[in-house]
Chain A
Amino acid sequence: MRYLVMTAVFLASLILQSTLFSHLTVAGVKPDLVLMFVILYALLHGPKEGLLIGLLGGLLQDFLFGQFVGMNALPKLTVGYMFGILERKIYKENLLIPIAAIFLGTFINETILYLLRQVSYLLGHAGGTSLNYLESVRHVILSTAVYNSCLAPLIYTKFYKSSQKGVLRTLDG
């Protein structure tokens, strides 16, 4: 059930990101709603669930947009797994935790994406220029991380309640 709900959530986020949020860019970047959901889900459900949901969200994004299948799945499942490990170690009621997690998670996600992009450039799968990491941090990574963490409080409360009592709760642990 919760996988179905998350699939719907991911699809809705992807469509919003590709339409509405391309009008609402801040410093040239759009937020990554799918990643935010992956991180929050992982924080509340643990590493196994985080891994699977990261894979689901990333693959959907790959299937819908772009060229390389797995380019978004790999960073997202990694981030889902990493934040899943933190599940038992944090106070979930504190709103600062998800904000910090989303900031850090976005940074990790974008860094992995940067590395993948760089590798595919070096292997000749993609053309164009080689990117400099610090430049990328300055122009893309940092602004995405800030944008994402600003949106975090808007969805966390609802998400938390749903994970405890609503449609996203884990039935059998």
Chain B
Amino acid sequence: MLRYIVNRYVLGFLALAVLALVLISYTGRDRTDLTPVERVIKNAAVPVESAVNTVLNGISNTFSAVFTIGSIKEENEKLKRRVAELESENILLRGYGYQNLRLRELLQFKDTVSRSFDTVSASVVGRNPANWFETVTINRGGADGIKKNMPVITSQGLVGQVINVADNSAEVLLIVDSSSAVGGLVQITRTPGVVEGLPDKTGYLKMNYISKEAPVREKQVVVTSGLGGIFPKELPIGRISKVELESNGLVKYAIIRPFVDFNHLEEVMVIKSFFGDNRSSPTGGGEAR
């Protein structure tokens, strides 16, 4: 046994372990740029990933088309009914829209939540292979004007934020990652809280630090609060599925089911700039913890 302890490999092992620790602390969240090595490797790998992913998605789409052909007819009927329903609702809402405009003019109301986002659309080409990190790789990068910390959304809601950028790809930290934290707001009651990912792989989110008396209930919608400056205000995050008292008895937390299906992310949009954002490029720091 002693032979192994006084082995020169032990020294080599320790040296490498220390080196790795130094690297880890050097490449923390605050760094702004990738190292040249990472850049080269990412640039080379993304086209391959993208190709493999396209083929796999094709196969999986074909399979699901074959297996669901029976239910499609029924779904079609249902959808037609739904379209008719929505169309009538739409007309009503358009009426409200015009009314809103008129009332706004009457009040000289300044539009503070106008959704004037400048977005770039991107495809998801890969997911992080490790189980500890919920990140995805997208096929747009520095060449398309993507920068660190830019918010990423789909038409359903908030997806996450860019954490590092290569020339033609970028890594997005999903809001379901347990190291992600987003300032949230219950839409109807305006109760603030911090929305964090849960480490249990269920894909649910947890909204922390809700005050005990806050009128937060199931089925309420949670949106981004815009505090911290990374995410614009009012982006939908998810719907509350459970509210419970924290074990210390002082604050409540809510379990949120996100609107975005993180298991089937294919197309996303990166918000390059948004209304009310004075900085042209968001930089690190200031995110809600």
Contact residues of A with B, CB < 8 Å? Answer: 11, 13-23, 25, 27-30, 32-34, 47-48, 51, 55, 58, 60-74, 77-78, 81, 85, 110, 113-114, 116-117, 120-121, 123, 125-129, 131, 135-136, 138-140, 144
Contact = CB atoms under 8 A, between A and B. Distances in A.
A129 B208 CA distance: 10
B13 A51 contact: yes
B17 A126 contact: no
Given A20-B56, A48-B9, A120-B24, A69 B35 contact: yes
Given A72-B130, A135-B200, 20 more contacts: A15-B126, A16-B52, A18-B126, A18-B128, A19-B127, A51-B13, A64-B41, A66-B128, A69-B27, A70-B19, A116-B24, A127-B287, A128-B181, A128-B197, A129-B197, A129-B198, A131-B178, A136-B199, A139-B200, A140-B201
* 8 closest cross-chain pairs (CB), A and B: A28-B201, A17-B129, A18-B126, A70-B23, A74-B20, A128-B179, A125-B28, A70-B20
A68 B198 CA distance: 20
Contacts of A77: 13, 16-17, 20
A23 B56 contact: yes
Contact of B171 (A32, A66, A140): A66
B41 A69 contact: no
Nearest to A113: B132
Interface stretch (B42-50, B152-160, B210-218, B235-243): B42-50
Contact of B129 (A14, A55, A71): A14
A32 B29 contact: no
B168 interface: no
B180 A128 contact: yes
A16 B64 CA distance: 21
A160 to B, nearest CB: 23
15 contacts: A14-B45, A15-B45, A18-B129, A19-B53, A28-B201, A32-B131, A55-B20, A63-B41, A65-B128, A69-B26, A72-B130, A78-B17, A125-B25, A136-B199, A140-B201
Nearest to A109: B130
A13 B132 CA distance: 17
B49 A19 contact: yes
Given A32-B129, A128-B178, A128-B180, A27 B201 contact: yes
- Secondary structure call for the A interface: helix
Most buried by A among B45, B135, B198, B203: B45
Nearest to B132: A113
A47 B287 CA distance: 43
Interface of B: 4, 7, 9, 12-13, 16-17, 19-30, 35, 37-38, 41-42, 45, 48-49, 52-53, 56, 60, 125-133, 135, 137, 163-164, 171, 173, 177-181, 196-203, 206, 208, 263, 287, 289
B196 A129 contact: yes
Nearest to A21: B129
B201 A71 contact: no
A18 B49 contact: yes
B40 to A, nearest CB: 9
A126 B163 CA distance: 11
Contacts of B38: 62-63, 69
Contacts of A15: 45, 48-49, 52, 126
A65 B48 contact: no
Given A78-B17, A128-B179, A129-B199, A66 B60 contact: no
A69 B263 CA distance: 26
Contacts of A13: 129
Nearest to B40: A63
